[in-house]
Amino acid sequence: NQKNENSKNVFAAFYFTKELQSIFDNDVKQIIEELGLTYIRVSSSTTDTNTTINDDIIGKIKSSKIVIADFSGQRNSVYFEAGLAMGLTIPVIWTCRKDEVANLSFDTRQYPHILWETKEELKEKLKNRIKAIS
């Protein structure tokens, strides 16, 4: 029995570079919505001023069906968010740019990462993985 199986939320954790933000906020969001799910991500600009960003992140992850964690750029916050989801038994989809796989932390390298080079490849592989686990 999958945790939050009735949730429609898919939480995305990634390094907020202009390029990755564009890929996730446009392309990844599009395939998530095509699958009838809701794209969720947190940044300081989307968090209510009366809520700390950590509380916002924790609350949104707790209510999610799936967490997508992209390790391109090696952001500590992405490791935190993936670990939190794992602790809550929420499925994590691990992704990383193919040219950065050698930089993955040794303790997470064992998980099956979707390795990608183009946004089209990421979209296709994510769509298939989301369909398989949702």
pLDDT tops 60 at residue 120: yes
Give the Å distances, CA to CA, from 32 to 45, 76, 81: 22, 24, 19
Residue by residue, DSSP assigns 33-46 as: HHTT-EEE---TTT
Q: Both ends of the chain: CA-CA distance in Å?
A: 11
For 13, phi then psi, to 5°, come to -120, 125
pTM for this predicted structure: 0.90
**CB 78 within 8 Å of CB 94:** no
For residue 93, the surrounding DSSP H or E stretch is strand 92-97
- Report pLDDT digits (tens) over 55-114: 888 899 999 999 999 999 989 899 999 999 999 999 999 999 999 999 998 888 888 999
